[in-house]
Amino acid sequence: MVLTSVILEFDGVVWEWRGPAPYHFVSVPEDECVELAEAAALVSYGWGMIPVTVTVGDTSVTTSLWPKDGGYVVPLKDKLRAAEGIALGDVVTVRLSVDVRPR
């Protein structure tokens, strides 16, 4: 069987990394990180980033998962947070879609 996509859904708390440009993230749970391992080998680019489509509520954006502490975090773009009224500390349901078809 050839892997063509990985779709995951999970709940997580929105947290902030304060740097020169603050980012908001949701951590991918450990079990879902294990599921991403096969896809990561096929699609990862520079620094282990994984391109994904992220959906929260009715809003979808393209971004990349960031590797962190042996797992991954999902950056929540301002466009997505504004459209869905997401604030720091909120618990959100995140749907990830990783396209692993040959390009």
In the chain, where are the structural domains located? 5-89
Residue 44 has a pLDDT of 87
73 in Cβ contact with 29 (< 8 Å): no
**pLDDT class of 35 with cuts at 50, 70, 90:** confident
Which pTM value belongs to this model? 0.88
Question: Which CATH architecture best describes the domain 5-89?
Answer: Beta Barrel (2.40)
Residue with tokens 């450990």: 30
The answer on pLDDT for 22 being more than 90 is no
End-to-end CA distance of the chain: 18
Residue 50 has a pLDDT of 94
8 in Cβ contact with 29 (< 8 Å): no
**pLDDT class of 45 with cuts at 50, 70, 90:** confident
Residue 52 has a pLDDT of 96
